[in-house]
Amino acid sequence: MPQPANPCPARSDVRPAGHRRAHHRSQLAMLLGVLYPLLCPASVAAQPLPALPQLDTAQITVSGLSSGGAMAMQLAVAYSGRVEGVGLFAAPPYACADGSVWWALNQCMLTGLGPFFGFMYGSISEWGGLPLSAERMADKARRWAGEGKLDPVAKLATQKVWSYRGLADSTVGDNAYAAIRGFYKGFGNTVQEVPDANRRNVPHAIPTASDGLDVCTVDAPGDEKVFLASCRFDGAGAMLKSLLRRGQDTAALKPGTPVAGSFVAFEQKRYLPAAPGGVLSMADTARAYVPARCRDGSGTACKLHVALHGCRQGADANYKLFTERAGYNEWAETLGLVILYPRAIATGGATSANPRGCWDWWGYSGNQPLNSYAWKQAPQMRAVMCMADALKTGAASCPR
């Protein structure tokens, strides 16, 4: 699979050609010491998040793929007072797993029953998974909000919601897709969806207009996938325009050109809370994309969007690909967005709590009491919201 070229070689690889005099090398070294952090910020040591006073973090938008979509919906429901819009790519619905990885695989996805009960039920991807009750999920949200575990549910009626599932997706089924629609319908809201013409042959992935990614036909073998597909459909752009320009004429809006120097590498571990009785499963470092106009001190207001990768996309090469090729940064330039890319990673081996580096949507990060992974107190959600605040204030850490 083609990987994006690194525009910034290691400092030790940048030196005068041939055997030039020592003072020439010294002069070049001094020049690099000044320019390198400016030209190649993603290559220097990770630091705290920068303070961006012109960034509006009072109202944010979030999105994600698969487990990242589940986390995005959890954030949207739990923090509905601050999350004004959510984009969901192949996502299970809110609190679908009921604190159980078994239910996550068998009720919310298409992956669980096939290997064990295929002789009884036939192809799980054709069958479509176990039935889901959107009404029950909405009732849980109402009850938990009444108990103070979530923001009041009133804002769910006006939250902008965009949902997408490729018709060739054999991981998350149409039942889950329909349950998201039903969940928001229970609050009087309508989910914006994509016509079938832009969903045909799309696998379990974010569809993009870029070449050289996963093929846009059927699901590729699992270990070969990057979960970004070349489908001639700009999924990230469609989603962001829906969340941020809904009701407006967006025909003239075009994606911008990402700038390598706009990436900020930061120490994510500074912002991570403890996960009592569980595994936090988040990386030490992560990235954000900050367009120049959002940090130039001009006072131009910018908005924050949180983009959450799916399972296995937090590994080094796939994470780099997700942050650079998913299609978010082009629209960050056009729409005046800062993109925060939180990062989850696998923990332990195949029998660990999170062997594929998924976001927690079933309770591995400390599911005591049951379903607390879907509440505001959940450690991963607290970390994401803390990082969102730190981008505004420049805070170097968060309360544990």
Which of 80, 163, 204, 242 is catalytic? The answer is 204
pTM as predicted: 0.85
The pLDDT, as a whole number, for residue 29 is: 38
**What average pLDDT does this structure show over 25-36?**
39
CA count, 13 A, side-chain hemisphere, 331: 27
Give yes or no: 66 in active site: yes
Confidence of residue 276 (pLDDT cuts 50, 70, 90): confident
Question: How far is residue 43's CA from residue 214's CA, in Å, rounded to a whole number?
Answer: 27
Give yes or no: 204 in active site: yes
For residue 152, whether the previous peptide bond is cis, meaning omega lies within 30 degrees of 0, is no
DSSP helix/strand/coil, 243 = helix
Nearest to 238 by CA among 227, 226, 230, 246: 246
The pLDDT, as a whole number, for residue 111 is: 57
Number of domains into which the chain is organized? 1
- Local structure of residue 4 (DSSP, 8 states): -
> How far apart, in Å, do the first and last CA atoms of the chain sit?
39
Confidence of residue 110 (pLDDT cuts 50, 70, 90): confident
Which of 66, 170, 242, 262 is catalytic? The answer is 66
Q: Is residue 232 part of a domain?
A: yes
Q: Is residue 203 part of a domain?
A: yes
Cβ(64)–Cβ(88) below 8 Å: yes
Helix axes 134-146 and 174-185, enclosed angle (nearest 10): 50
The pLDDT, as a whole number, for residue 16 is: 35
Confidence of residue 54 (pLDDT cuts 50, 70, 90): very high
The pLDDT, as a whole number, for residue 224 is: 58
Is the predicted pLDDT of residue 147 greater than 50, yes or no?
yes
Q: Is residue 180 part of a domain?
A: yes
| Highest-confidence segment of 18-22, 127-131, 386-390 | 386-390
Q: Is residue 32 part of a domain?
A: no
Nearest to 227 by CA among 315, 101, 351: 315
337 or 99: which leads in pLDDT = 337
Cβ count near 293 (within 10 Å): 14
The pLDDT, as a whole number, for residue 15 is: 34
Beta bridge partners of 265: 287
315 or 13: which leads in pLDDT = 315
Phi, psi dihedral angles at 107 (to 5 degrees): -100, -35
Q: Is residue 13 part of a domain?
A: no
Q: State the residue range of the domain holding 207.
A: 56-393
Mean pLDDT of the chain: 84
- What is the DSSP track for 358-378? ---SSSTTT--STTGGGSTT-
Q: Is residue 295 part of a domain?
A: yes
For 320-337, how does the pLDDT look when each residue is reduced to its tens digit (9 = 90+)? 999 999 999 999 999 999
Confidence of residue 123 (pLDDT cuts 50, 70, 90): very low
Give yes or no: 309 in active site: no
Q: Is residue 348 part of a domain?
A: yes
Which of 98, 169, 219, 360 is catalytic? The answer is 169
Q: Is residue 19 part of a domain?
A: no
Beta bridge partners of 64: 88, 308
The pLDDT, as a whole number, for residue 351 is: 63
Question: How far is residue 348's CA from residue 356's CA, in Å, rounded to a whole number?
Answer: 10
Nearest to 235 by CA among 252, 214, 210: 210
